[in-house]
Chains A and B, each alone.
Chain A
Amino acid sequence: MTDVVGIVIVSHSPLVAEGAADMVRQMVGDRVPLAWCGGVGEGVLGTRLSDIRAAIDRAWSERGVVVMVDLGGAETNSEMAIEALPPERRRKVVVANAPVVEGAVLAATEAASGAALATVLATAEEAGARCRSVPSKTSAGRRQ
């Protein structure tokens, strides 16, 4: 299923990540490669580089992967995970500046129609533009 851009959901909370993934699956369907990760085990909030890397692998598509993140550490760890990818994969993975739930659903809707990575990213970030008065991502965000 590599003709469709993949979506990765990274949240500090596994419940948030899984819930957002559920919304994508129920609202958009199974066409989009989708993976999520969140939490550092035993109910503790946080994100782990290795989990993000594994999620990118699970949602991998040759068309690219958009990573949806919630706060601070999710974003920096996702960027580090992308940095660690082989160069030919690295340029196909982007972090969206968008609210994680709305962005994931919108991005998946766009991806399912066969859109290119840049279009999927732009659609996700359009959700962010509508929510800009809400601080969806700040450097003061909770880190693990």
Chain B
Amino acid sequence: MPVGTVQNECGAPPVIRSFALPNFGGLHARPAVKLTMLAKSFDASIEMSARDDGKWVDAKSVLRVMGLRIGPGDTFHFRAGGADAETALSAIAALAERSFDEPGGGETAGSPDNAP
């Protein structure tokens, strides 16, 4: 679900698109590792943001992804640049829509609406 095109201020290849994903149980350590490992499998530069404050972090860095402290109910966005950027974002979207393959859809006590 595209939320608009954003400018890339970090000198990386051109941004392809940005999108938000449905809420889920929170991007704690295990899903963050899954996300970064998937991101690393692509050549594209991939960035991630949790808020609309313009702060983008490298989606291939577990520390930076966890540092976003994305919790239940938060919206987050990805943008990517490079030859396989579209493929990368589709793969990440699919992972997120599967709630990062977490048992029960994530560590979600109190977040009953995170199931796909």
Contact = CB atoms under 8 A, between A and B. Distances in A.
Contact of A113 (B30, B40, B63): B40
Query: Chain A's interface: helix, strand, loop or mixed, by majority?
Result: helix
Contacts of B61: 123, 126
Contact of B33 (A28, A123, A126, A130): A28
B33 A109 contact: yes
Interface residues of A, number: 12
Interface of B: 29-30, 33, 36-37, 40-41, 60-63
- Pick the most buried of A27, A123, A126: most chain B CB atoms within 10 A of its CB: A27
Given A126-B63, A130-B63, A105 B37 contact: no
A123 B29 CA distance: 15
B29 A105 contact: yes
Given A27-B33, A105-B29, A113-B37, 4 more contacts: A105-B62, A109-B33, A109-B40, A113-B60
A27 B62 CA distance: 12
Nearest to A27: B33
A106 B30 contact: no
Contacts of A27: 29-30, 33
Given A106-B62, A126-B63, A28 B29 contact: no
Contacts of B62: 105-106, 109
Contacts of A123: 61
